[in-house]
Structure 1
Amino acid sequence: MTRSGCCWHLNTTYKIVNDNPVVIKTIEMDHQKYPFLYTTTTTFGKKKKEIVKKEIDFGQMPVKELFSFRLQKNNKKVVLFDDGENNLYYALIKSNESVEFNYPEENNTENQPFMIDAISKNISFTNEKTTYTIYQKINQDNTMTVGIKVKNNNKTLDLVGNATTIKGDLKSISSKKYNNKK
C-alpha cells in the first residue's frame, strides 16, 4: 500500500511471472476532492481495464444527509446534503451507491447558487441551460408528493419520487443559511 496520509491510497496486487513481480490490479482511493471519494480500479492483462467510481461517504463526519428520496421509475436516490463546511450539495445516486450527477460540480467556476422558493420551499439550481427543481408538497388528501422537475428549452420532465422513501424535510433546508444558497 502506498498513501499520502489521510486522503489518497493505492493498493497494488502482484503475481509472480518468470520469477518477477507483475502488477495485475491497482485500487486507488482518492478523497482529495471532498466531499467525494473516487475509487479507480485498474486491472492489467491482455488489455488494461479501468473503472472509476465516485461516491459520497455519508458515514464520514461532517457530511450530513439533509433530505432524500428514491425515484419511482428507476429507484435512484436523490440527495441534498451538507458537506460540513456550510455548502449545500445535490446528488443523484445509482443503486450501486455511485454518484451519477452532482451539483455544484467540482472545479466549475460558473456554478450558480441554490434558489429557495419563499412560498413552496422548493429548491432549484441551474446547470448550464437546465433547471432542476426539487419539490415536496402535501396534497389536499394529506398524501405527500415528492420529485424533481427538470426544465430545458421549454420542456419539463417530472421525475416523480416515492413518497414512502422520504428522509428529512425541504423546509428545514430553506431556513438554514448556506454559502451557496440564495
Structure 2
Amino acid sequence: MEQLRIGVIFWFLSLSVIGQTTYLINDFSDVYKGKLIIDQGYEEEVFKKGTVIILEKLSEKEVVAISSEELTFSLNEEGEVETGVVSLPYGEQSIIISEDVNFDGVKDIVVMDGQYSCYHGPSYQVYLHREGQLIHSPSFTRLAQEYCGMFQTNNETKTIETMTKSGCCWHQFSQFEVVNNVPVPIEVVEEEYQYLYHITRTKTWRGGRAIEKTERRMNKEGVAIEVLMSFRLFKNQKKVLLFASEGRLNYVLLKSEGELVEFSFPADNLIDAGRFTIDASKSKLIFKNKEAIYEIYEKRKQDKVMAVGIYVYVNGKKYHLSGDLSTLQGAMQGVSSEKLVNVDG
C-alpha cells in the first residue's frame, strides 16, 4: 500500500506531457500555486532547462512565467519540489520563495530565473504582492541578481542584507532599508586583504548624507613577518613597528588601542617602491613621502640604548616624537643586519 501511495503521488506531481516533466507546487502560498516544467533531456542535469509558472489558486490564472536555461531545485521524500529554502550566502536556495521582502505584512513571490548572481549562483525575479496582484520590482530584483544569491531579510530590524565577493580577498556586505517599496542602502562594508593589511571601508547614510570611514589592520593570517624593532610613543602610546616581510622593510604606526594602522610605509602593497636609508652609525633610519621626512633614531651609550624616538620634518619645521624606552623591543642593529632590498646604506 505504501508503494502504491508513493506511486500515485509521483503520478500527480510528475506528469510527462510531450516529452516534458511537470511538477505541481502547492505549498508555498495560500493565494498562489506553481508549475515547474522541465524540458525533455534535462531531467538528470544539474542545471535544467525549463519554465517556472505562478498561477492564482482560485482562478487558475497564470500571473508569472519565467523560462531559463539553468534551473536548480531539490525534491523532498515525497517527490515534491522544495520551496522556501534560503541558506545564505552559499547554501541551497529554492526555485520559489514566498517571503515578505518589503515588510508590509504580506508575503511576496521570488522566482529563480537562472544562475546569474556571483560565481554562477542562483538569481531571482522579485514580485511584490500589492493590491491583490503580483507586481514585478526591478529594484528588489537587482538585489537578487547583482550579489551572491538571494538576499536576506531581517524582520526585527526591517532591513535587507546582501553579500558579494571577488576571489579570496575582497568581500562586500550591504544593508538596505525599504522606502516606498524600494530598497535603499544604509550601510556598505567592504573588506579587502592587501597582503600585509586587512582594510575595511565603511559607507553609511545618515539623514541623506554619506559618511565614509577606512580602517586598516595588520593581516596576521598567512603572512610571515619578522619584528625588528618596536616601541611606543610617550605622548599618545601609539606603537612604532619596524618589521621585515618578503625581504622588505616596513614601517607601521599603530593606534594606541588594538591593531588599527594609522600610517604605514611603504604603501599597502608588496611591490611599492618606497625606500629607507640607514646612516653609517646604524642609529638613524630615514624615509620620506610627499608630505614629510621621517627619521627614526636610537641613541646609544656603549652597548646600551639610552633613547629612541622619531623626528618628523614638515614644511621646514621639525617635530620630535619621543619614544618610551621601557617599551623598546629589538634595536636598530636588527634592521642593519638584515639584507633588505629596500634599505640603502
Looking at both structures, which has the greater relative contact order when contacts are Cα pairs under 8 Å and sequence separation is at least 6? 1
Please say which of residues 19-28 and 63-72 is displaced more in the overlay.
Answer: 19-28
Question: 1:28-77 CA deviation, whole Å, 9 max, x = no partner?
Answer: 1112x332222111223422222111232245522343211111112111
Distance between the aligned counterparts of 1:67 and 1:143, measured in 2? 12
Structure 2 CA distance for aligned equivalents of residues 26 and 110 of structure 1? 28
After TM superposition, the structure 1 = structure 2 runs for residues 74-113 of structure 1, keeping only pairs within 5 Å, are 74-82=236-244, 84-96=245-257, 97-105=259-267, 113=275
Aligned match for 2:205, one of 44, 52, 71? 44
**1:110–1:156: structure 2 CA closer, same or farther, 3 Å change rule?**
farther
Query: Among residues 11, 27, 32, which one is paired with 2:189 in the alignment?
Result: 27
Structure 2 CA distance for partners of 1:64 and 1:15, relative to 1, 3 Å: farther
Q: Which runs of 5+ in 1 are unaligned?
A: none
Which protein has the larger Cα radius of gyration, Structure 1 or Structure 2?
2
The one-letter amino acid of 1:49's match is: I
Q: CA deviation at 1:21?
A: 4.5
TM-score of the superposition, structure 2-length normalised?
Answer: 0.45
Give unpaired runs (5+ residues) of structure 2: 1-162
- For residues 180 and 288 of structure 2, the distance between their equivalents in structure 1, rounded to whole angstroms, comes to 57
How far apart, CA to CA, are the structure 2 residues paired with 1:20 and 1:130? 48
For 1:63 and 1:120, how far apart are their aligned partners in 2?
22
Residue 75 of structure 1 aligns to a residue whose secondary structure is: coil
Give the match for residue 223 of structure 2: 61
2:214 aligns to what SS in structure 1?
A: strand
The residue type paired with residue 63 of structure 1 is I
Q: What SS class does the counterpart of residue 171 from structure 1 fall into?
A: helix
The one of 163, 174, 177 equivalent to 2:325 is 163
| Alpha-carbon contact 1:36-1:56 (below 8 Å) kept | yes
Contact 2:195–2:223 (Cα < 8 Å) also in 1: no
Change (3 A) 1:22 1:73: same
Conservation of the 8 A alpha-carbon contact between 1:58 and 1:65: no
Q: Given that residues 58 and 64 in structure 1 are in contact (C-alpha distance below 8 angstroms), is that contact kept between their aligned partners in structure 2?
A: no
Counterparts of 2:249 and 2:177, CA distance in 1:
45
Contact 1:55–1:98, Cα closer than 8 Å, also in 2: yes
What corresponds to 2:281 in structure 1?
119
Query: What percentage of aligned pairs have identical amino acids?
Result: 39
Q: 1:113 to 1:11 in 2, by over 3 A?
A: same
Select 1:131's aligned residue among 282, 293, 296.
Answer: 293
The aligned residue for residue 6 of structure 1 is 168
What amino acid is the match of 1:3?
K
Deviation at 1:126, TM superposition (A): 2.6
Question: Are 1:131 and 1:152, in contact at CA under 8 Å, matched by a contact in 2?
Answer: yes
Question: Does structure 1 retain, via aligned residues, the 8 Å contact 2:265–2:274?
Answer: no
Distance 1:49 1:139, change over 3 A: same
Equivalent in 170, 174, 177 of residue 336 of structure 2: 174
Counterpart CA distance in 1 for 2:206 and 2:167 is 30
Give 3-state SS (helix, strand or coil) of 2:313's partner: strand
Letter in 2 for 1:43: T
Contact kept? 2:266, 2:272, Cα under 8 Å: no
**Alpha-carbon distance, 1:100 to partner:** 2.6
